[in-house]
């Protein structure tokens, strides 16, 4: 669980750079995928699972937009990537707050 928490903190840092030239760093998802595979995710209560799931759905979606932007760095692609990254910030903040309240 500690690895997933560190990944969430890293992803908060990535989300914080949605409005500058640092857009392009993908969100890390390895520990989330691992938590799904090894059953750790199932140990979370419903509230935390819902918040984690929402944040990572948006992060994986943002990774798609960032990947597209890197292959086609047009203004439209940059705008889409920035928006997708920005949409992850509040969900990851909610995950961290919920996590800290429970553990």
pLDDT, tens digit (0-9, with 9 covering 90-100), for 36-60: 999 999 999 999 999 999 999 999 9
CA distance 69 to 12: 20
Query: Does the pLDDT at position 103 exceed 70?
Result: yes
- List the chain domain ranges: 2-16+24-102
User: CA triplet 78, 83, 87: central angle to 5 degrees?
Assistant: 150
CA distance 71 to 43: 39
pLDDT, tens digit (0-9, with 9 covering 90-100), for 67-85: 999 999 999 999 999 999 9
Q: Is the CB of residue 92 less than 8 Å from the CB of residue 55?
A: yes
Tokens 């669980």, residue located: 1
Query: Does the pLDDT at position 21 exceed 80?
Result: no
- Residue 24: the pLDDT is 85
- Residue 23: the pLDDT is 84
CA distance 52 to 46: 10
Structure-block tokens of residue 10: 């890293």
pTM (two decimals): 0.94
Q: Is the CB of residue 19 less than 8 Å from the CB of residue 86?
A: yes
């Amino acid at each position: 669980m500690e690895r997933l928490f560190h990944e969430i903190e890293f992803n908060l840092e990535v989300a914080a750079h949605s409005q500058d030239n640092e857009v392009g760093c993908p969100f890390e998802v390895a520990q989330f995928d691992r938590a799904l595979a090894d059953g750790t995710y199932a140990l979370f209560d419903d509230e935390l699972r819902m918040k984690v799931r929402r944040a990572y759905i948006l992060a994986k979606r943002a990774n798609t937009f960032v990947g597209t932007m890197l292959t086609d760095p047009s203004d439209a692609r940059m705008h889409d990537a920035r928006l997708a990254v920005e949409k992850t910030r509040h969900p990851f903040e909610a995950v961290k707050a919920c996590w800290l309240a429970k553990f």
